[in-house]
Amino acid sequence: MLSYLLAVTVIALIYSLMTLGLNLQYGFTGLINFGVVGFFAIGAYTSALLVVAGWPILLALPCAVAASALVSWPVALLSLRLRIEYFAIVMLGFAETIRLVVTSEGWLTGGVQGVTGIPSLAAALGLSMESTLLTALVALGAVIGVVWLSRRLVASPFGRIIRAIRDDEDAVQALGKAPGRFKVAVFVLGSASAGLAGALYAHYITYISPDQFMSLLTFYIWVAMILGGVGRVGGAVLGTAVLIGLMEGSRFLRDILPGVAEVEMASIRLGVIGLALMVLMRFRPEGLLGKGRGA
């Protein structure tokens, strides 16, 4: 039971990194990123492949973060050129395309079989510590770091500008600040955070394959962010914890409701996320604890 709770905590912390990133992008700046899972996948594959190829993990993790950030930079430039609805659709297509690439380029990614035998953090660092506990501590450190960074960022003049961009971009322009640079910076930062999440995930699960990177995961993160409150740094972590609690709690539901197969459970999770998106948009677009202007 305790080990199960620890495992759920690790996943919640890893997902929190994505939610924090999305909250910077959408919650504070108004960038609609429907491609979170694409950057998560880039981070996961980069770190996994490098470490499997014999790189030290202390080098592979920064490379994973850098890879996500690098890919996100031209994508962010797109956001300056496109209407927000178009950008949203493009991001959806981007994430699906990343999945196509890791499925098709088997010589690099193992294709449908994925990458197996990824060393856990403990193994990669040569520590004789219990691996889940170590991953939990590292993920917790990462979350605290990103929360601290987000808070500093939001409280700074930079933070005032990005919130102003979210609320009235024309006014920002009129004041002589170019919104573009700030948008790109925020988008890259958020994607880097998703890349770090992907790298930690790969070393935690020790096996990755394309079907772990479905667009559903992106909207898990959206629901988590909206639950916690759009534009609240702490809310991102809280919302993720609540959502993972609900979703993972559903595994206990199966003990109570025997006869529900894992396949049906997967359908139920998909349905819950779908229903949550509809109900939240209909009744609480700013989130349960939101301060920002909802959609």
Partner 1 sequence: MDSAYLLNLAFNGAVIGLITALAALSITLVFGIARFPNAATGDVATAGAFAGLLGPVLGSGALPIILVGMATSAAVSLLFYVVLFRALAKRSPVASLIASIGMAFFLRAVLTYFIGHDQRVYPLPLVRAVPFGPLRVQAADIQVIVWAGAALAVTFALIHLTPIGKRMRAVADNPDLARSSGINANKVMVVMWVVAGLLAGLAGTLLGVKTVVSPEMGWDLLMPAFAATILGTIGNPLGAVLGGLLIGLAQELSTPLVGFTYKIGVGFLVLLLTLLIRPQGLFAKNSLVR
Chain residues binding partner 1 by CB under 8 A are 32, 34, 78, 81-86, 88-90, 92-94, 96-97, 100, 103-104, 216, 219, 222, 263-264, 266-278, 281-282, 285, 294-295
> Measured from the CB atom, is 204 or 220 closer to partner 1?
220
Distance of alpha carbon 171 from the chain centroid: 30
Instruction: Report CA-CA distances (Å) from 201 to 17, 196, 204.
Output: 11, 8, 5
State the residue for tokens 């740094």.
Answer: 233
Residue 271 CB neighbour total at 10 angstroms: 10
CB nearer to partner 1: pick between 37 and 199: 37
The span from the first CA to the last CA of the chain, in angstroms, equals 40
Complete DSSP assignment for 6-64 = HHHHHHHHHHHHHHHHHIIIIIIT----S-HHHHHHHHHHHHHHHHHTT--HHHHHHHH
Please tell me the distance from the alpha carbon of residue 46 to that of residue 226, in angstroms, as a whole number.
29
Instruction: Pick between residue 5 and residue 112 the one whose CB is nearest to partner 1.
Output: 112
Smaller CB separation from partner 1, 52 or 214: 214
